[in-house]
Amino acid sequence: MSSRFRHCIADHMVLDDTGRPALTPQPDWGGLPMAIGVIPGNEELRDVWSGVPTLLLERSGSGRRWYRRGLVTRELATRPRMIELYAQDFQLEQARWQGEAGRCVGLQFPRDAHRQVLQAGGDPHLDRELVALAA
Taking CB atoms within 8 Å and a gap of at least 24, the contacts of 40-43 are 40/12, 40/97, 40/101, 41/97, 41/98, 41/99, 41/100, 41/101, 42/97, 42/98, 42/99, 43/96, 43/97
Instruction: Say which amino acid occupies 94.
Output: Q
Residue 21: exposure state from Cβ atoms within 10 A (0-12, 13-18, ≥19): middle
- pLDDT tens over the chain, length 135 residues: 333 434 455 667 677 777 776 666 667 767 777 788 888 889 998 888 877 888 889 999 999 999 999 999 999 898 999 998 888 888 889 989 999 999 888 888 877 665 555 544 455 555 555 444 444
The confidence score (pLDDT) of residue 122 equals 54
Beta-strand ranges (E) seen in the chain are 6-7, 34-39, 42-50, 54-58, 62-69, 72-78, 83-86, 90-100, 102-108
How much is the pTM?
A: 0.68
How far apart CA 79 and CA 61 sit, in angstroms, is: 6
Is the CB of residue 105 less than 8 Å from the CB of residue 58? no
The confidence score (pLDDT) of residue 48 equals 84
